[in-house]
Structures are given as structure tokens and as C-alpha cells.
């Protein structure tokens, strides 16, 4: 009997390995291996329908707005590296490298496992750092993605650390049940006011059962 809050690792691994064999999809294959190596229940949260839908929406909107060629991407609040894996997996994109940055050091090994091939060839790095204290002066990326702006106490200050003209993709939401969501917004207009971007190229929202996710693509 599986304990509450956990899952049967062998059961999940067998299913994912079967789906990977059927679809020949590297993300699913890496997920199967990652579940076996790091049987963490919150992997189910990272790959739930709402999380994947929001990242697929971001991926499509990014391509439609800015194209698919990026030399170096930073994903802030990158968690387990799911967005990075989805971007690398999409043939529309030509990406030199992605740094997935999260304050939790426990994310590194999981994110590297999920992006195993890209980690091996040096195109993916999982880095432990606080997104609100990053320096953009030495190795500034060509695109910054932050899908967890609701975690940032003062978004305009955090964005102000970036060079002017930096291309960004930002997501936030109105889900206030999580105590770490310290900066939620209730509308796209409120999100724009919070971010204070110099140029907005895309604005949109994705309605889910429990919350609405807001997204901006533009320049700092």
C-alpha cells in the first residue's frame, strides 16, 4: 500500500517508459528515468495538466511573438526544468543554451536528469541562485523567462536589474491560497502596471479551474 502523499515509483516508471517507447519522446523518457531516480510527489505537480498547459501556451506565444532563435535563455524560478525540456524538445526552436535558475538547491539534480542530454553537452545548466539578486552584467542572456512572478515581492525592482531592452516573458496569476504567492494580480492591466515594461509585444490570459494565469512578452 502506497503511503498518502507518495506514489508507487515502479508503477509510474513502467507507464512512463511504455509511453516513451510508444511516442519516442525524449521528455517522457527522461521523466521516466527522473521519477525512478528522484521519486518526489511534487513531480506530479510540475507535470500536472495546468502546469503543462501554461508552459505550452508560453512556448507557442513565444514562437509567434519573438520567433524561435535564442542564443542564451535564463528561466527564473525554473524549478525542475520542465519548461527548459519543453523548449529543447520543440523543433521550431534553435536554442544555444538554457540556464534554469532556482533558489532551491534540491532542484538541480532533478532538472539535470530531466534535461540529461542537454546537460551532458553543456547546453543546459541548473543553477542555485536568488532571482531577485542576479547580476546581468557579465553573462547577460538574450531572453529571460519568469513564470512565477507572483513569488517576487517587487517585480519592477527585480526587472530593473536587467539591461534596458532585455527581452522577457513573464507569467503571474491570481492564486492567493499559496503563502509564497506574495505578489498576485487580478488582471492583465494590473500585471502590466506591476512589470512596467518599456514595450509590450504580447499580453494574454489563460483561465483554469482555480485561477487565471496572465502573461506578458516584451522588452524591459
Task: Give which of 109, 146, 111, 148 is closest to 27, Cα–Cα.
Answer: 111
Considering Cα of 4, then 6, then 56, then 174, what sign does the dihedral take?
positive
pLDDT, one tens digit per residue, over 176-201 is 888 889 999 999 999 999 999 999 99
* Angle, helix 107-114 to helix 82-89, in steps of 10 degrees: 20
Residue 133: the pLDDT is: 85
**Model confidence pLDDT, tens digit, residues 128-155:** 999 888 888 777 899 999 999 999 989 9
Q: C-alpha grid cell for residue 138?
A: 557579465
Q: What is the reported pLDDT for 95? A: 98
Q: Which domains does the chain have, with CATH numbers?
A: 9-41 (no CATH), 46-219 (3.40.50.150)
- For residue 187, what pLDDT is reported? 97
According to DSSP, the residues that pair with 98 across neighbouring strands are 73, 124
Amino acid at each position: 500500500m502506497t503511503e498518502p502523499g507518495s506514489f508507487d515509483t515502479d508503477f509510474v516508471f513502467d507507464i512512463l517508459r511504455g509511453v516513451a517507447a510508444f511516442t519516442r519522446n525524449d521528455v517522457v523518457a527522461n521523466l521516466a528515468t527522473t521519477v525512478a531516480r528522484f521519486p518526489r510527489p511534487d513531480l506530479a505537480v510540475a507535470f500536472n495538466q495546468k502546469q503543462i498547459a501554461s508552459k505550452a501556451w508560453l512556448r507557442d506565444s513565444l514562437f509567434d511573438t519573438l520567433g524561435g532563435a535564442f542564443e542564451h535563455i535564463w528561466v527564473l524560478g525554473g524549478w525542475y526544468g520542465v519548461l527548459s525540456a519543453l523548449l529543447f524538445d520543440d523543433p521550431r526552436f534553435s536554442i544555444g543554451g538554457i540556464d534554469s535558475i532556482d533558489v532551491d538547491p534540491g532542484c538541480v539534480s532533478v532538472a539535470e536528469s530531466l534535461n540529461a542530454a542537454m546537460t551532458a553537452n553543456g547546453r543546459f545548466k541548473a543553477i542555485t541562485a536568488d532571482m531577485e539578486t542576479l547580476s546581468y552584467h557579465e553573462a547577460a542572456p538574450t531572453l529571460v523567462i519568469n513564470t512565477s512572478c507572483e513569488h517576487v515581492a517587487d517585480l519592477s525592482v527585480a526587472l530593473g536589474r536587467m539591461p534596458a531592452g532585455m527581452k522577457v516573458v513573464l507569467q503571474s496569476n491570481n492564486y492567493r491560497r499559496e503563502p509564497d504567492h506574495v505578489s498576485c494580480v487580478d488582471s492583465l492591466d494590473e500585471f502590466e502596471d506591476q512589470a512596467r515594461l518599456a514595450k509590450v509585444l504580447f499580453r494574454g490570459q489563460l483561465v483554469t479551474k482555480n485561477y487565471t494565469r496572465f502573461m506578458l512578452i516584451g522588452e524591459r
